[in-house]
Amino acid sequence: MRWLLPLICLAACEPVERAPCQVRGDAELELTPSDRSFGEFTSGDDIVFGPPPQGGAPYAALTGRVDGLDLVDGVTLELWGEDVESGEDLGSLSYETRLVCANVGDSAGNWLATDVHFRFFGWNLDQLGGRVAELSMRVTDKDGMSVEQSVVGELVEDMD
C-alpha cells in the first residue's frame, strides 16, 4: 500500500517543462576567447594560447553562446583556424557534444559551449606567437541548422 501513494502522485504530475533554452528569435552564435566576457572582445585583441596541462597540441580556449536553435538533443561542434596574413591552416576538429543551458546571469536562456579548446594540431608554441589568427566555431543542431562565428586576434602565449 505504501507504494500506491507515490505512484498516484507521479501519475498526477504535469509533464516536465522544457529547458529554459527554448528556440526564440533568429539563430545566433556569439564567440569570445574564454578569458573575456561576451561583448568584451574586439577584433584584433589578443587571443591567449598555450600548452594544455595534459600535454599535446597547443590550444586557445573559446566560449560560445547560442540562441535560436533547438539543441536539447546535442550538437556537432566544429572548430577551424587560419593565419590571416599567410592563409596557413592552423587546425580543425569536429565532434558531437551537448551544450549547457544557462539558467542564470547574462547568458540565461542561451546554450553555452564553455572553455572549448581550439587545438593547433601540428604546430609548436614557438611557431604561433605573434600570428594574427581567425578562429571559427560552427554549431549544428540535429536537424542540420547551424550558426557560425569567428574571432580575429593576435596569438599571445600566456597560459600556465
DSSP 79-130: EEEEETTT--EEEEEEEEE--EE--SGGGTTSEEEEEEEEE-TT--GGGTTT
Q: Look at residue 159 in the predicted model and tell me its pLDDT.
A: 63
Q: How far is CA 59 from the centre of its chain?
A: 14
Going from N- to C-terminal start, the domains of the chain cover 4-157
C-alpha cell of residue 157: 602565449
- Could you tell me which residue, 9 or 80, shows the higher pLDDT? 80
Checking if the pLDDT of 16 tops 60, the result is no
Secondary structure element (H or E) that encloses residue 148, with its range = strand 146-157
Mean pLDDT for all residues in the chain: 88
What pLDDT, on a 0 to 100 scale, did the predictor assign at position 160?
A: 59
What's the burial of 141, exposed, middle or buried (CB within 10 Å: 0-12/13-18/19+)? buried
Examine the pLDDT at 137 and tell me if it is beyond 50: yes
CATH 3.40.50.2300 holds for 4-157:
no
Range 38-65 average pLDDT: 94
